[in-house]
Structure 1
Amino acid sequence: AVHADQLWMAPYAQLVRDAAPTRPLTVLDQHNAVYLIPGRLAADEHNPLKRGLLALEARKLARYEAAVCRRFDRVTWVTHEDFAAVQHLPAPAGEPDAAPLPNAGVIPICADPAATAPIDQRPDARRVTFLGGLHYPPNAQGVRWFAEQVFPQVLAQAPDAVLTVIGKQPPPLDGLGIPAANLDVLGYVDDPAPYLAETAAFIVPLLAGGGMRVKIVDGWTWGLPMVSTSVGAEGTAIAPGENILLADTPADFAAATVRLLTRPDVGRRLRDAGRCTAEQAYGWRSVYRAWDRVYAIED
Structure 2
Amino acid sequence: MRVLFLSQIIPYPPNAGPRVKTWNVLRYLADRGHDVTLVSFVRDDEVEFVPKLQEVCTAVHTVPIRRSRVADVGYFLKSNLTGRPFLIERDDLAGMRKLVQYLLAGEAFDVVHADQLTMTQFALDAFAVTGKKRPFTVFDAHNATWTISERLIDNVPWFLRPVLRLETERIKKYEAMLVTKFDHTMVVIEPDRGALMVGLPTAQHAETARKISVIPIAVDTQQLQPVQRQPDSLNIMTLGSLNYPPNVDGIRWFSQEIFPLVREQMPHVTLTIIGKSPPADLVQLAETYPGAVDVTGYVPDLLPYMEKAALMVVPVRAGSGMRVRL
Q: TM-score, normalised by structure 1?
A: 0.66
- Cα shift at 1:4: 1.4
- Cα shift at 1:114: 1.9
Aligned-partner Cα distance in 1 for 2:118–2:247: 20
**Would you say the 8 A contact 1:70–1:102 is kept in 2?**
no
Residue 81 of structure 1 corresponds to which residue in structure 2?
191
* 1:122 and 2:230 are equivalent in the alignment: yes
How do residues 1-299 of structure 1 correspond to structure 2 at under 5 angstroms?
1-19=111-129, 21-45=132-156, 47-90=157-200, 100-171=208-279, 172-173=281-282, 174=284, 178-216=288-326
| Identity, % of aligned positions | 38
**Would you say the 8 A contact 2:193–2:212 is kept in 1?**
no
Higher relative contact order (CA 8 A, sep 6+): 1
- The Cα offsets for residues 257-295 of structure 1, whole Å up to 9 and x where unpaired, read as xxxxxxxxxxxxxxxxxxxxxxxxxxxxxxxxxxxxxxx
Cα distance change of structure 1 residues 113 and 175 upon mapping to structure 2, 3 Å threshold:
closer
Cα distance change of structure 1 residues 160 and 142 upon mapping to structure 2, 3 Å threshold:
same
Any stretches of 5+ residues in structure 1 without a counterpart? 217-299
Aligned-partner Cα distance in 2 for 1:176–1:60: 38
**Would you say the 8 A contact 2:197–2:205 is kept in 1?**
no
Cα distance change of structure 1 residues 62 and 214 upon mapping to structure 2, 3 Å threshold:
same
Moved over 3 A (4+): 96-99, 101-104, 175-178
- Cα shift at 1:160: 1.6
SS state of the match for residue 322, structure 2? coil
Any stretches of 5+ residues in structure 2 without a counterpart? 1-110
**Would you say the 8 A contact 1:5–1:30 is kept in 2?**
yes
> How many correspondences in the alignment?
212
- Cα shift at 1:124: 2.9
Instruction: Give the superposed CA RMSD.
Output: 2.2
Residue 233 of structure 1 corresponds to which residue in structure 2?
none
Cα distance change of structure 1 residues 143 and 121 upon mapping to structure 2, 3 Å threshold:
same
- The Cα offsets for residues 179-215 of structure 1, whole Å up to 9 and x where unpaired, read as 2111000011111210111111111112111111111
Q: TM-score, normalised by structure 2?
A: 0.61
Cα distance change of structure 1 residues 3 and 175 upon mapping to structure 2, 3 Å threshold:
closer
Aligned-partner Cα distance in 1 for 2:322–2:272: 23
Aligned-partner Cα distance in 2 for 1:108–1:210: 13
**Would you say the 8 A contact 1:27–1:75 is kept in 2?**
yes
- The Cα offsets for residues 107-143 of structure 1, whole Å up to 9 and x where unpaired, read as 1012111232222211132221111100001111111
